[in-house]
Structure 1
Amino acid sequence: MATMERFAFAGRTCVITGAASGIGAALTLELAKRRAVLALVDRDADGLARVSALAREVGAGDVSTWVVDLSDGGDRLDLAAEVAARHGGADLLINNAGVVLSGTFEQVSMKDFDWLMEINLHAVVRLTKAFLPQLLARPGSHVVNISSLFGLVAPPTQVAYVTSKYAVRGFSEALRHELAGRRVGLTVVHPGGVRTNIARNARMSLPDDDGAQAAQHERFTERALTLPPEEAARQIVAAVQARRPRLVITRAAKLADLLARVAPGRYWSVIERGLRGKNL
């Protein structure tokens, strides 16, 4: 990857999943400012309409929107064909869409576990498979897969999410090695503490009649998720431009990554003590 030219965004077709909010929406606007052509994917039609209108205002070369529910198990070959027909093919695929499931492994149902894996992992694999022929046919193309801080460290009560994000990390690293020398770059991103609605919108594994789980997620969002998604998007776009293979976002995520490598069997007890000190 070091020998590839820097990625130029103007006029290049960029496919972004989860584009209606959070990091996806911020990435959409960041790429629009660089005159990219945008194919925006999300299940939220109203959110897509809002974000696409803003993208046009700030300078996107062309914008198309695709209302897709990534939990439905589709192979996405139809989406890839439609994007190619509309825009000529993809130059940048950003697999950003993701969901959270709250609860211990004992508590969560297999139905909910499979739902999360479908969106967080299988959709990443299927979209990459569907668009890969286009990317290979357009030298200098690139793939971005959004993993997580929890693709580097593994907290309790997040077994499903951790499983998906570690898998995205492994998939990305192996695929990057396969694509070496074929002029397709790949960046795996591990965000930590980005202020999005992913925690607030988490699916609850147990009834929350008294609102306790929702209140806990709200406290976590306010105290731990502090980095603006616009800053995360800026860093991701810079990493794509520079063809970086890996991006860890936020100082806390970088420290956790280092700790997991230095003390792989004991890192969580150290992190847990720090979290207790911050009342998270």
Structure 2
Amino acid sequence: MTVERFAFAGRTCVITGAASGIGAALTLDLARRRAVLALVDRDAEGLDRVAALARQAGAQEVSTHVVDLSDGGDRLDLAAAVAERHGGADLLVNNAGVALNGTFEQVSMKDFDWLMEINLHAVIRTTKAFLPQLLSRPGAHVVNISSLFGLIAPPTQVAYVTSKYGVRGFSEALRHELAGQVGVTVVHPGGIRTNIATSARLSGPDVDGRQAEQAAEFTRKALTLPPEEAAKLIVAAVQARKPRLVITRVAKLADVLARVAPGRYWNVIQRQLDKRGLM
């Protein structure tokens, strides 16, 4: 069955993690397309700032919703608020995410659960809460932001990788289940210039500041694509109803390598990272 391209003008778009990074860039891109925006983040000040910019950029209507996605809520109250204010959601973008530094041995289960709640469980809970609205809106769509680390699994990122592989699997199964009713796009960004590495939680003491220094160096060398460019690609993928989007050449190469040599790809990648001084 052929599905029409997604038109954003006048459609209600819910974006989590909208106060910064890819979420903020998506907000402004959709505002310029005359969308109706429901913006979600725990950062009230950042949310207000982005909302003001969205109104200036041409959004038909903007509402802000201060929500801490780590609290385990079912998000039914958020869905109800969006329905009351805007009539329902046409596009849900599950973008909010966090990172956690440390090996699996170092990381506490409390921190592991915190990351899983935001990166995976909140994606599932929010999608579940909005699903009745999406099913009732012709041509509705869901975007779930996974990661390059939902395609490859580096050491010292066990919690993050677990969550992002989970988002990938959830998205693919949901797409197959909702085929012909609601579109689903899973996005695997690699190397986007955001603060996710430098703002990562450290599970345990960083005695000599080495991990913070490594995070800053990784951000400078590896996270180079502007979030605005990522936002453009995501919007285009939604318009075209693409099931999957891998962003950046490095991520695409890593994706191919992981499929060609699933048991050996990390040895190849590690040699390249060593050459670039990223390991």
- Tell me the TM-score normalised to structure 2 length: 0.99
Which residue is equivalent to 2:245? 247
1:277 counterpart residue number: 275
TM alignment of 1:1-280, pairs within 5 A: 3-182=2-181, 184-280=182-278
Question: What amino acid sits opposite 2:213 in the alignment?
Answer: A
Letter aligned with residue 241 of structure 1? Q
In the TM superposition, residue 213 of structure 1 has moved relative to its aligned partner by 1.0
Distance 1:3 1:202 in 2: 42
Work out the CA distance in 2 between the residues paired with 1:195 and 1:164. 21
In the alignment, the residues of structure 2 paired with residue 237 and residue 18 of structure 1 have an alpha-carbon distance, to the nearest angstrom, of 16
Alpha-carbon offset, residue 158 of structure 1: 0.1
Sequence identity, in percent?
A: 82
Please state how far the C-alpha of 1:92 moved relative to its aligned partner: 0.2
Structure 1 portions without partners, runs of 5+: none
Quote how far apart the aligned CAs of 1:205 are: 1.5
The alpha carbon displacement at 1:212 in A equals 1.4
Following superposition, the deviation at residue 151 of structure 1 comes to 0.1
- CA shift at 1:209, angstroms? 3.5
Distance 1:31 1:186 in 2: 18
Cα deviation for residue 88 of structure 1 reads 0.2
CA offsets per residue over residues 234-275 of structure 1, 9 Å max, x none?
A: 000000000000000000000000000000000000000000
Report the residue type matching 1:54 in the other structure: L
Give CA-to-partner distance per residue, 1:183-215, whole Å, 9 cap, x none. Answer: x10100000000000001000022013321111
Let me know the Cα RMSD of the aligned residues. Answer: 0.6
Aligned amino acid, residue 163 of structure 2 = S
1:3 positional shift: 1.1
Deviation string for 1:87-121 (max 9, x for gaps)?
00000000000000001111100000000000000
Paired with 1:49 and 1:209, the residues of 2 have a C-alpha distance of 36
Q: Secondary structure at the match of 1:50?
A: helix
Q: How many residues are treated as equivalent by the alignment?
A: 278
SS at match of 2:268: helix
CA distance in 2: counterparts of 1:181 and 1:250, whole angstroms? 29
Provide the C-alpha distance between the structure 1 equivalents of 2:246 and 2:214, rounded to a whole number of angstroms: 26
Which amino acid is 1:108 matched to?
V
Shift of 1:181: 1.9
Equivalents in 1 of 2:212, 2:21: separation in Å? 19
Amino acid at match of 2:121: H
Where 1:98 maps in the other structure, the secondary structure is coil
| Runs of 4 or more consecutive aligned structure 1 residues displaced over 3 Å after TM superposition | none
**Contiguous gaps of at least 5 residues in structure 2:** none
Q: Could you tell me how far apart the structure 2 residues matched to 1:238 and 1:47 are?
A: 26
